[in-house]
Copies of this chain bind each other. A is one copy, B any other.
Amino acid sequence: MSIPKKEITSDKIKDSAKKLFTTKGYSATTIRDIAKESQVNIALINYYYRSKENLFRIIMEESFEQLFKQIIPILNNKDTTLEEKIESLVNNYLEFLLEFPELPLFVLNELKNNPKHLETKINLKKKVSKSSLINQIMAKNSEINPLHFVFNLLGMIVFPFIMKPVISSSKLLENEIFNQIINERKHLIPLWMNSIFNSKTEIDIFNQITKTK
């Protein structure tokens, strides 16, 4: 029997708020919802976090951090091959998303709605575009804009979680199948990415012919 450790009130509030914000969105979540969920007085939320917006900002920054920052070191690691990076990215990220499946849709959507978090965005974009991953992709395929492959890789990893609300109702069985499919993708996506890198366009073939001439 585990001793129910007394959670700190401010954390209890933040956890409840995060749960509600990620599932219902910012505007649809009220202070009273958060108070009810965390079983504290309404005034305590303002006592600890000053305002709803400030509480949201803190949670948003945390979620953003969770969702993006962990992949940066993988992209920037100069000691790994492209194949190793992809495998690492697919495994770590899918494992992470299985734990927090609502995070992508939440962050991407709030990012669209709130034009505030711009600084973080610009930073992210710069870091990705100058990463070791991009260099390795360009070395492998110089004809095609590397952004295409980033879209493909991230899309194959993240998109099922964004589609999840469409395909799976609240049935537990379906959730089981979904998780199984995600686990299958852990080894399939690296395979597919490799096929994509090696698929030749008409232009590529043309260039090869003219070169050998």
Contacts and interface: CB of A to CB of B under 8 A. Distances in A.
Interface residues of A, number: 51
Contact of A151 (B102, B163, B170): B163
Interface in A73-119: 102, 105, 108-109, 111-113, 115, 118
Tell me what chain A mostly uses at the interface: helix, strand, loop, or mixed.
helix
Interface stretch (A5-13, A41-49, A152-160): A152-160
27 contacts: A25-B25, A26-B27, A27-B27, A27-B28, A28-B113, A105-B108, A105-B112, A108-B166, A121-B167, A122-B169, A125-B166, A144-B184, A144-B188, A147-B181, A151-B156, A151-B160, A152-B155, A154-B159, A154-B163, A155-B159, A155-B160, A158-B159, A191-B201, A192-B195, A192-B199, A195-B195, A195-B196
